[in-house]
Amino acid sequence: NFRSLQPWIPGVVVLCLGLAGLLAFGDALAGDRVFAARDAVHTFPGLVGLIRQEWSAGRVPLWNPWLNNGQPLAAMNVAGALYPPQVLAALALPTGAASTTLVVGHLLLAAAAATRIALDAGRSSAAAAVAGLAYAFSGSVVFQAYHPNIAAGVAWLAWAVCFGIRLGHRWSPGAFLGLAASLACAVLAGDPQAAYLAGITLVVWRIGAGVSAGAAGATTILAAGRLGAAAVLAAALAWPQIALTSEFMATTTRYADAYPVSIWDVPRCLRDPDAAVRNHWADVILGRPPPESSFYHQIYRFSVAPWRVLDLVNPTLAGPLDDRWTSARGLEGDVWVATLYSGVVPLAACLLALGHLRREAAVRRWSLVIAAAFAASLGGLGAVGIARRIAEYAATGGVTDLYRPGDEVGGIAWLLTSFVPGYAGFRSPGKWLACFALGLAQLAAAGIDVSTTSPGRGTLRRWLWAVGGASIVVTLAAGCMAPSTALPGVVSGCVLCLSAAVLAALLLDTRLVPSWLRGREAAALAVVTAVELAVAARATVESAPLAAVRGGSGYLETLEPLRDPRLASASAHPRLAAIDGLIEIPQSANATARARAVGVAQRCNTPLLHGWGKVGEPGTAMEADFELLCSPISTPNGPVFPRQTLDRSAVEFFVIPASGVPGVPLDELLHEWSGPQRAGVDRSIVPAGAALPNAAPPGEPLVRVIRNVSARPRVRITRDLLAVPPFPEAPRKRRVAALRPLAFPDPTGGAPAATVVESADAAAVAAIAEAQEAVTGADEAARITIDEPRRVVIDVELAAPACVVLADTFHADWTATVRVPAGGERRVEILRADHTLRGCLLPAGRQTIEFRHRSATFARAIPVAILAWAGVIVAALTCRQGRQPRLVEPSTRTNSAGLVRPA
């Protein structure tokens, strides 16, 4: 009988997963802690705190007022603002613990999914446990603890594959609803790419099934129809997230490039007024991107170097993520994960299963998934890149660099980006490693069951010795190339690998094991795998108290008394600009010290933890026009940051490296504007006045904090206006040329010094300008009285008509109404002030202007999702589900060590 007829979560599975989880993450779950690297420490705590604040106040978190003068929040899908588990965790747990607990829960959910896939295939409980461990605790998956949204994505990816395989075999209401819900949860959790990867993996798996089993075309069409219908339902379930993100991304750097990234962009490109764009529509797709095609250069970041497959025999082969000797030697580019290690036992079992490639269809399917996933993870190394390396090596005996634009052409990642609809919006080919790990885990389960036979046991033992020997050889080779400081880490990985290989091999030797263990070798191997992968995870994943981040950035509280009273009276919430990309975080073995340094440097969303806004935080989910106005330009003296934009955005403090940056003077952040510059006589773009005051806490070695005395209030009254028509949408070059002087005034004097308002009534602007001299010295005021993420109320008193500028992001979802003391309310138009801010033309008198945020897109989309989820829940409760049939297909050849035991 199939041993998988036992309960689907047998005791051995619970024991192994619980043991691995406790050993790997036990300390991370104690207290209000965060995983101490990457997004988990500097991006998500601030977002989670804001999401909790909004849901607790009874508001949907649609707007983030703290970042870049305000930008959409739920539309920035990585936040997971509409993902139910994220919402519940944020409401029930402290900020740090919310993300940490959710990450660990998702990794265990990923293990359950891989286990379920193996059980569906007829594997034994112990083999299924090994599959779950090899997937969820592999280096390429467990490392996503540093990316909470992707940790959720890898879990739902595995469940989508699980349900998709079931649905591909036959119609099942439960599998249909499960697949749709899994895909929708991946999108809502903030990793829509996981849904894409799951779909492509199912296609590859189906191709393998069709090739191996000779599936009829009609059967394949029916399976595709079922999967497609589930995808449509998933889109309905996640429609608010999809609609909001699509709307937001259309204005970000992901889609604002004039040049096409895929063939689906070509029609838009051919309609571009710029002939240079039209005539070179194929350049980007063929690997010849111009410099202004900015997002294209992000797509192939975090590609995997081919040699990384050696990680499978040593988890610390290249050293820790932040101090990799392979990067120093130019052997890899930006690193996505620290290691691909999936354990010695799973690797040996996988190799054993590959020996039966011709005997079982499932082995061929998962082998194809592994090959396709690893090839896709190479990203920037396509057919052109391989040919270039061969030619360079033949000519010079070496390779000059790792990747060049154009190397990606002919690769799987390039094919997906260029030809699959919507895929061009994603980046990081390294994400394919999750599919690689899932395929390896399923082959490992197959190999474990083969090892329960007498010949299979001996073969697995030989493979374990071979993997151990390979670990020694690879470690010796690395030792010859790595610096001496990296050797202890490299050797420790080899010791772990060898220890597990020797122990597992001894457990398979019936002459050495006690009688009570005989027949239970597979369960013992699962326990060895759990301990081994937990130890490897402990070396990869570290946590620190969130209090360390808060403490590092606690100096913000000391800056509050230093604020200009004029600015503090206008807005209670200050803003800063942290040039955090130039502030080096010191390498330290102490995770708490690193977390504190992140707080000191004000990385990413760290200021949000203290209620401070941050301007100039870059990212691919940033309004393209605002990013243009916040980006430095190159000059003979080095890059120059846009001081004008920072002043207009009410930035009161600059956080810059204390030790300076070679080749980057940062004079534009160290001085105030001179008298001639203020008078408009000197139009240079770098302030030439007195040095700005240093407000940094004494003795802080990482940063200097500069108080910006030129900052303009967040809400201000102005009559110095320049009315212009809307800036051109296209061509892109013309738009950039028109916007650039707002950030960097033309030194020849051609740039306006006044506040630029678009689409304003010329007569009203002229009347306001005429009243400027008449009200000089009059008592006027504008003060924010209510400051909520989706509602801002300003009390205004004007002696004459004027323009009231709120230095918050202009966005179509905001409306403004004006109330006067005598009663009555009227709607006023919000104008673009300096293109990215909000301006309203108001008459004289005392009045209150109220800005409100309402997303029409969300209002249209949420009923669709509510109806879809209600239908899914009702269907799940009412449809009768019998026992899930096993998805075991007979092997194509009988054999004594068969991978599948017939019932």
Residue showing tokens 């509602």: 791
| Chain CA centroid to CA 299, Å | 13
d(CA 165, CA 172): 11
Edge-to-edge strand order for the sheet containing 575-578? 613-614, 575-578, 651-657, 703-707
d(CA 790, CA 62): 8
Model confidence pLDDT, tens digit, residues 68-96: 999 999 999 899 999 999 999 999 999 99
Q: Where are the beta strands (DSSP E) in 571-628?
A: 575-578, 613-614
CA atoms lying within 13 Å on the CB side of residue 201: 32
Of 416, 417, 386, 391, nearest to 404 by C-alpha is: 386
Helices (H), 508-545: 521-540
End-to-end CA, the chain = 5
CA of 448: how far to CAs of 133, 195, 499, in Å? Answer: 13, 29, 19
Answer whether residue 215 shows pLDDT above 90. no
pLDDT band for 257, please (50, 70, 90 cuts).
Answer: low
Which residues fall within 8 angstroms of residue 343, CB to CB, at 6 or more apart? 133, 134, 137, 138, 500, 529, 532, 533, 536
pLDDT of residue 3: 42
Answer whether residue 887 shows pLDDT above 70. no
Which tokens hold the place of 161? 């594959």
d(CA 578, CA 553): 12
d(CA 200, CA 425): 16
d(CA 775, CA 489): 71
Q: What values do phi and psi take at 556, rounded to 5?
A: -60, -35
Beta bridge partners of 793: 786, 850
Lowest mean pLDDT among 47-51, 408-412, 518-522: 518-522
Q: At 573, is the secondary structure helix, strand, or coil? A: coil
Model confidence pLDDT, tens digit, residues 258-289: 678 888 888 888 887 777 777 778 888 888 87
d(CA 318, CA 314): 9
Helices (H), 424-453: 433-450
Beta bridge partners of 847: 796
Which residues fall within 8 angstroms of residue 400, CB to CB, at 6 or more apart? 392
Cβ atoms of 620 and 561 within 8 Å: the answer is: no
d(CA 86, CA 88): 6
Of 401, 364, 404, 354, nearest to 384 by C-alpha is: 404
Of 139, 538, 162, 210, nearest to 377 by C-alpha is: 139
Of residues 639 and 238, more confidently modeled: 238
Lowest mean pLDDT among 4-13, 217-226, 428-437, 751-760: 4-13
d(CA 553, CA 547): 10
The CA-based diameter of the chain, rounded to the nearest angstrom, is 103
Model confidence pLDDT, tens digit, residues 44-73: 999 999 999 999 999 999 999 999 999 999
Of residues 619 and 656, more confidently modeled: 656
pLDDT of residue 192: 95
Model confidence pLDDT, tens digit, residues 380-408: 899 998 898 888 878 877 666 777 888 99
pLDDT of residue 880: 65
pLDDT band for 728, please (50, 70, 90 cuts).
Answer: confident
Edge-to-edge strand order for the sheet containing 755-758? 715-718, 802-809, 837-842, 831-833, 755-758, 721-724
DSSP 220: H
Of 693, 704, 698, nearest to 601 by C-alpha is: 704
Considering Cα of 364, then 366, then 369, then 373, what sign does the dihedral take?
A: negative
Model confidence pLDDT, tens digit, residues 809-848: 999 999 999 999 888 899 999 999 999 999 999 999 999 9
Give 120: exposed, middle or buried? Use CB within 10 Å, 0-12, 13-18, 19+.
Answer: buried
Q: Cβ–Cβ contacts within 10 Å for residue 746, how many? A: 12
Of 710, 713, 721, 712, nearest to 832 by C-alpha is: 721
pLDDT of residue 244: 96
Which tokens hold the place of 84? 């139910």
pLDDT of residue 218: 67
3-state helix, strand, coil in the chain (%, to 5): 50, 10, 35
pLDDT of residue 509: 78
CA of 663: how far to CAs of 173, 430, 668, 692, 873, in Å? Answer: 63, 32, 14, 21, 60
Q: What values do phi and psi take at 851, rounded to 5?
A: -100, 130
Q: Residue 158 — left, alpha, or beta (φ > 0 → left; ψ -120 to 50 → alpha)?
A: alpha
Cβ atoms of 160 and 109 within 8 Å: the answer is: no
Q: Average per-residue pLDDT in the chain? A: 88
Which tokens hold the place of 267? 């029609």
Cβ atoms of 337 and 308 within 8 Å: the answer is: no
pLDDT band for 2, please (50, 70, 90 cuts).
Answer: very low
pLDDT of residue 17: 81
Average pLDDT over residues 315-327: 89
Average pLDDT over residues 303-320: 93
CA of 774: how far to CAs of 768, 770, 778, 798, in Å? Answer: 10, 8, 9, 12
| Bridge-based pairing state of the strands 63-64 and 71-72 | antiparallel
d(CA 244, CA 78): 12
Of 623, 571, 766, 542, nearest to 249 by C-alpha is: 623
Answer whether residue 551 shows pLDDT above 60. yes
Of residues 586 and 161, more confidently modeled: 161
Which tokens hold the place of 731? 């061509």
d(CA 340, CA 531): 17
